[in-house]
Amino acid sequence: MPTIADGVNRFITYKKQTGQTTADGSSGGQVMRRTDGGSLNLTRSSTTSAEIRQSRMELDTRLQGKTVSGNLPFELVAGDFTDHIQSVLMRDFTAVSSIGPLSDVTATVDGTTAFKGTFTSATADWIVNGFRVGMGLRITGLADSTNNSNNFMITGLSSTVLTGHFVNGTTFVSEASGNPFTFAVPGKVTYIPQTSHTKDFYTIEDREDDVDSSDLYKSVMFTGLDISMPAEGNVTGDVSTLGLDHELLEGAGSPHFGAPAAQGTGLAFSGSNGQVYVGGAQNVVITSMNFSVAGGHSKPNVIGSNVSPDIAQGVTTVGGTFSALIEDSVLRNLFINETETTIIQVLTTSNDNDADMAIFAFPRVQVKTANKDASGEFTTQTFEFSSLEQVASQPTEQTSIFTQDTSI
């Protein structure tokens, strides 16, 4: 009986290239965590002769330039998709410095929500020190121990007043100034920058271990990202690709990566541990949220080679949809009145005070549609939105999407 490739024994391994035109060396590499479906493929256009022959048959067909493209689906896990996200956003993740200890900060509970409050400083400038709406913090030095090292989401910001929520619903406790508060931004952040965009190429090996065969894709870029958060179930994602070349490896030449790092073991984010903030307020009736980041990448064909010399980065569009139960007209009025807003999506690994977070913030959102669906027991609305470049310099980042991963 012939040996047939088993899908479970298929491995996708990737490694960032040091240059554009050649596949990276066989050392290193990371096995990607993936779900069913998705693949990279080599495609080639073809040209058929237009000659009219007495035989009434075509005489010649030629294959043209190579294109590598496809998508790779996954479940979103803290820290495991750093390369993919930062390459799509064209900026490496970076750390944000802590502020403090500060003894002149007053903590005041917001009367509208028990877990919302403000921190007001007499001397520190939150914005100048690098804080932005959509960042997650952990604060220490508070007299109330339940508030220390607790995930805190910034939903509003001025030079001296920092407003936000404890993500897991811990009650905010007011405190007078005097205690030495320290405000830390755990993990690292990134976003689409206004200048100095990175351009990352990867070598990706799609290996069928059962038949000792690999497709080696060279000079591949991660060009797009889709993230879907349901009310119940794991948060899923999909990264799209565009590449320049391919090589089939068999026998002694396979695999290309000899000892890649194994898949991680962290658990996927779940919608039940998610929060969505619209216009700075937590919205508790949203039933799903999806967003996509689509790069406008393209590659030229050239005379004398079936491999394109480069990939161009075009305009990146950011947008998505969210659905919500109807409780009032607040969300619908964003569409009716063409009112721009902010949306912040927060995912946590658990309800622990300091659980790892993945945050996706959209600082300047335009809601484009608001459609009702009354087919079930509850009437819902589905909203489509675009996230536009934030041209105002403060208090959000000047970008169309901002993200933070506290695990890296």
Report mean pLDDT in 10-residue bins for the chain, 408 residues: 77 91 81 92 94 95 94 96 97 95 91 85 91 95 87 94 91 89 96 96 92 92 97 95 95 89 93 91 91 96 92 96 92 96 95 94 96 84 96 88 97
The answer to whether the beta carbons of residues 107 and 142 sit under 8 Å apart is yes
- Where exactly does CATH 2.40.30.20 map onto the chain? 99-186
pLDDT reported for residue 319:
97
What's at 94, amino acid-wise? T
Beta carbons within 8 Å of 367's beta carbon, 6+ residues apart: 331, 334, 335, 339, 341, 383, 384, 385
pLDDT reported for residue 311:
95
Indicate the helix (H) or strand (E) that contains 82. helix 82-89
Q: How many residues does the chain have?
A: 408
**Inter-residue long-range contacts of 377-383, CB under 8 Å, 24+ positions, other chains counted:** 378/325, 378/326, 379/325, 379/326, 380/287, 380/323, 380/324, 380/325, 380/326, 381/323, 381/324, 381/326, 381/331, 381/332, 382/321, 382/322, 382/323, 383/321, 383/322, 383/323, 383/324, 383/331, 383/334, 383/335
The number of beta carbons lying within 10 Å of the beta carbon of residue 351 is 12
pLDDT reported for residue 310:
94
Indicate the helix (H) or strand (E) that contains 331. helix 330-336
The answer to whether the beta carbons of residues 162 and 139 sit under 8 Å apart is no
Q: What is the pLDDT of residues 343-401, one digit of tens each?
A: 999 999 998 989 999 999 999 999 999 999 877 788 899 999 999 999 987 789 999 99
The number of beta carbons lying within 10 Å of the beta carbon of residue 99 is 22
CATH class name, domain 99-186 = mainly beta
pLDDT reported for residue 24:
75
pTM above 0.75, yes or no: yes
Q: Which of 31, 301, 366, 313 is nearest to 192 (CA)?
A: 313
pLDDT reported for residue 133:
95
Burial of residue 370, with CB atoms counted within 10 A of its CB: 0-12 exposed, 13-18 middle, 19 or more buried? middle
- Would you give the DSSP letter of residue 233? S
